[in-house]
Structure 1
Amino acid sequence: MEKIMLEIQKLGFSQYESKAYVSLLQQAPVTGYELSKRCGVPRSMIYEVLNKLSERGAIYTLPSEPVKYSPVPAKELLKRLRRDVDATFAFLDQSLAALGSNNELAVIARIHGREPVFNELHSLVESSKSELWLSVWEPQATLLSQSVACAEERGVNVCSIVFGNAACRLGTTFHHDYMPADVVKARIGGQLTLAVKDRQEVIIANFLDHGASWAVKTQDPALVLVATEYVRHDIMIEAVMRHFGADKLDELLRKQPELHAVVTGKFKDRAKKQ
C-alpha cells in the first residue's frame, strides 16, 4: 500500500490526497468525517483535501445530508491523467525546443548521485544511433545489458570493456583480466565508467562505494576523443594480454619496476633515492 501511495504522489497528489483517494476506492460513498477516521487525514484538513481531489476530477460529490463522497474509478482517473500528461509533454516538447534552439550547449554538465548518473548512462545508450564505446563495471554493466541489446538491434555498433561478471555481454565485449579490478579501483578511487555515443557525446562517471557518485556529460570534441581512445587502449591491452598470456605481462611488470607507478598510481619517493 505504501508503494501505491508513493506512485500516486508522483502524479502530483499530496500525501493526504493519496490517502483519501485510496481509502475511497476501498469503501465509498462516505462522509468527510468517516473518511477522516478511516484514512488518517486530520479532521481539520479533510475537507480541504476533498476539495483538492474534486478540483483534480478524482472524486464525485454526492448530494445527500450529510454530503458524501465517491471516487472516480481508478482506470478512468488514470486515463484522464495520462491524457493530460501527454498533452503537456507534447506542448513542452515543441515550446521548450524552440526556446533553446539558439542557445549553445553547456560545455560540461555535472551529475551527482548514483541513480541520476546511471539514468544518464541509460539515456545515452538508448539515444545512440551508430556506435557506442563502453568501459563499464558491475553492477552497471548488467543493468545496461538490455538497453545495449536494443541498440544493437537498431544497428548500433557496440564495443566494450567490462570489469567483473565474465558472463556479461555488451556488444563486442572484452573483459578486463590483465589487471585485478580491485587494483584499478584502488588507484582510481571508484569504478571509473565511460560511455561514448556516436563520436559526439561522452559521459565520464565514477561510481563510489563511499560518498556521492558523480559524472560529467559533454559534447566537447576533445573529451569525446580522449574517452574513445581510453576505451580503445584498454581493449587493445586486453587483446595483447590474451594473445601473449598473463604470464608475459607479469614478467614485464617485474622486469621494469618503473611500471609499478603506471599500474598502481603510486610513485616512489624521489628524495629517498637521492
Structure 2
Amino acid sequence: MDQLLHHLRHLGFTEMESKIMVELARQGSASGYEVAKRLGVSRSNVYATLQRLEQRGFLRCSPGEPAKYSMLKPEEMTRMISDQMHTSLAYVERSMPQSEPEKPVFYNVEGDKNVFENLSRELAAAQHEIVVDVWREEAELLREDLQRAESRGVRLLWSCEGGEGMLDQPLPLPRLPISGAGTGRKFSLVVDRRWCMLGMRGESCPTQAVVTEHPVMTGLLLSHFAQELVLYELEQDMGRELESRYGGRYADIAARYWSSFSSENEQ
C-alpha cells in the first residue's frame, strides 16, 4: 500500500488523490460519503478531490443520488498518464529556452601527448582552412594530420623554420627574438579562423600550449602570419635591396625595437 501511494505521488498526484484512487480501486465504486468515512477524512476535502480527479479523466461518475465514483482500469489509467507525460516532455523539449554552454575563453594544455592529441582532434575536424606556423621538428610530427586535411580539400597555409623540405613548398620566414621566452620552439596553429593553439616545445622546456576560440587571439595570430607572408614576398622580390638598406633579415630595424624592449624587461 505505502509503495503504491509513493509511486502515485511521484506521478504527480497529491497524497489525498492517491489515497482516494486506491480506495476506489479497492471498492469498485463508492459515494463521496463512503470514501470519506472509509479514509476517516472530511467530506468536503473528499468531494473537492473527487471532482478534480473526474475533471482530469481519472474517475467515472455514475448518475443518481448519491453519485457513485469508480476508477479507470489500471491499464487505462497508466496509458493516459503515459500519453500526458510524453506530450508534456515533448513540449518542454521543444519550448525550453536554450543557451550555448559557456566554453572556457582560454585553457592550458601541458605535455606532448595532450598537446598533440588536441591538435590531431582539431585538424581532423577542420573544414576550410588551417594556418600553421611551426619549426621543422613539429612539422614532422604534424605531417600526416596536415596531409590528411589537405587531401579532404582543406586549404593549408603554413611556414616552417629550421629547414626546407619537410612539407611541400615551405616558407622559411624570419623569427624575431623574444627576451626571456626560454629556449623552446614556439608554434601556433589556427583552424577555420575559429580555434587556435599557441605553445612552446623543446628538449630543455616542458611542452605547454594555450588553446582558445577567442576571436582576438585568432585574429592576432592570423595577422602575424599574414605579415610574415608579406615580408617573405618582399624578400623574394627585393631581397638584395632590402638587405643592403636594412641588414640581413631586417636586423637593423629589429634592433631598434627589440633591444629597447629587452632592456626595459631587464630593469
Which interval holds the TM-score relative to the shorter structure? 0.5 to 0.7
2:188 corresponds to which of 187, 194, 212: 194
Shift of the alpha carbon at 1:102? 4.7
Q: What residue is the counterpart of 1:34 in the other structure?
A: none
Per the normalisation by structure 2, the TM-score is 0.54
Question: Aligned partners of 2:123 and 2:244: how far apart in 1?
Answer: 35
Shift of the alpha carbon at 1:209? 3.0
Q: Is the 8 A contact 1:118 1:140 kept in 2?
A: no
2:131 corresponds to which of 117, 130, 133: 133
Q: What residue is the counterpart of 2:209 in the other structure?
A: 215
Q: Is the 8 A contact 1:191 1:208 kept in 2?
A: yes
Q: Is the 8 A contact 2:164 2:170 kept in 1?
A: no
Instruction: Choose 1 or 2 for highest CA Rg.
Output: 2
Q: Is the 8 A contact 1:159 1:173 kept in 2?
A: no
Question: Alignment length, in residue pairs?
Answer: 164
Seq. identity, %: 18
Q: What residue is the counterpart of 1:17 in the other structure?
A: none
Q: Match of 1:214, SS?
A: strand
| 1:240 maps to 2:238 | no
Q: Which runs of 5+ in 2 are unaligned?
A: 1-98
Question: Aligned partners of 1:222 and 1:165: how far apart in 2?
Answer: 31
Task: Say if 1:138 and 1:173 are closer, same or farther in 2 by CA, change over 3 A.
Answer: closer
Shift of the alpha carbon at 1:142? 1.3
| 1:266 maps to 2:259 | yes
Shift of the alpha carbon at 1:109? 1.2
Question: Aligned partners of 1:119 and 1:247: how far apart in 2?
Answer: 44
Q: Is the 8 A contact 2:246 2:253 kept in 1?
A: no
| 1:174 maps to 2:151 | no
Q: Is the 8 A contact 1:194 1:205 kept in 2?
A: yes
Q: Is the 8 A contact 1:253 1:259 kept in 2?
A: no
Question: Aligned partners of 1:126 and 1:258: how far apart in 2?
Answer: 40
Question: Aligned partners of 1:173 and 1:228: how far apart in 2?
Answer: 17
Question: Aligned partners of 1:105 and 1:138: how far apart in 2?
Answer: 32
Q: Is the 8 A contact 2:132 2:188 kept in 1?
A: yes
Q: What residue is the counterpart of 2:199 in the other structure?
A: 205
The amino acid across from 1:149 in the alignment is: Q
Shift of the alpha carbon at 1:150? 1.0
Q: Is the 8 A contact 2:186 2:199 kept in 1?
A: yes
CA RMSD in angstroms, aligned pairs only: 3.0
The amino acid across from 2:255 in the alignment is: H
The amino acid across from 1:195 in the alignment is: L
1:118 corresponds to which of 116, 119, 122: 116
Matches of residues 42-121 of structure 1 in structure 2 within 5 Å? 102-121=100-119
Shift of the alpha carbon at 1:217? 0.6
The amino acid across from 1:131 in the alignment is: E
Q: What residue is the counterpart of 2:140 in the other structure?
A: 142
Shift of the alpha carbon at 1:121? 2.2
Question: Aligned partners of 1:239 and 1:187: how far apart in 2?
Answer: 30
Shift of the alpha carbon at 1:249? 2.9
Shift of the alpha carbon at 1:245? 1.6
Task: Say if 1:126 and 1:165 are closer, same or farther in 2 by CA, change over 3 A.
Answer: farther
Q: What residue is the counterpart of 2:94 in the other structure?
A: none
Residues 59-81 of structure 1: CA deviation (Å, up to 9, x unaligned):
xxxxxxxxxxxxxxxxxxxxxxx
Q: Match of 2:188, SS?
A: strand
Shift of the alpha carbon at 1:188? 4.4
Shift of the alpha carbon at 1:237? 1.1
